[in-house]
Structure 1
Amino acid sequence: MPDKNLIPVVHHKGKTRKGKGFSIYELKAAGLSISDAKKLGIKIDKRRKSIRDENVLALKEIIKER
């Protein structure tokens, strides 16, 4: 079951806002595969190409908890 607080941060038009899901590159940087993320209930946004350090750290925290 996904955490309600697990929302990625993205930049859009020069502003920081909540994202719709984590990028595939962020998942790989955190050591997760796409199938593992789906099993954990983590949302994936295939359109995003960036890697945000704060998102990678959030994913690593989720991995530690489980």
Structure 2
Amino acid sequence: MVEPIVKRPHYRFEIRKKDTKVGRGFSLKELKEAGLTVQEAKKLGVRIDKRRKTSYPENVEALKKLEEQLKEKKQAQ
């Protein structure tokens, strides 16, 4: 499963952990920039965090790499 690299935003009701690099999921903006829809991401098992509004290039690249790997697997079969 692909995990987002950038931290998620801190919300008051949550306990903040120090030095964590894994967030809850990818933002909708990151999915759009990678060329994925929400339905496609769910089928691929990608976690989505609808609360996040930011887009980080590292996360977009991770989504693009995942999509390429899946296309290669389909072609190999």
**Could you say whether these structures have the same fold, taking a TM-score greater than 0.5 normalized by the shorter chain as the test?**
yes
Alignment of 1:27-66 (within 5 A): 27-66=31-70
Task: Give, in angstroms, the shift of residue 18 of structure 1.
Answer: 1.1
Residue from 8, 14, 26 that aligns with 2:30: 26
Which of these two proteins has the greater Rg computed from alpha carbons? 2
Task: Give, in angstroms, the shift of residue 34 of structure 1.
Answer: 0.3
| AA aligned opposite 1:18 | V
Bigger fraction of residues in helix = 2
Bigger fraction of residues in strand = 1
Q: Structure 2: 5+ residue runs without aligned partners? A: 11-18, 71-77
**Aligned equivalents of 2:6 and 2:62: distance in 1?**
13
Deviation by residue 1:18-65 (Cα, 9 ceiling, x = unmatched): 101000000000000000000101000001000000000000001001
C-alpha contact 1:9 1:16 (8 A) present in aligned 2: no
**Aligned equivalents of 2:5 and 2:30: distance in 1?**
12
Q: Once the two structures are aligned, what percentage of the paired residues are identical?
A: 49
Q: Structure 1: 5+ residue runs without aligned partners? A: none
Segments of 4+ moved more than 6 angstroms: none
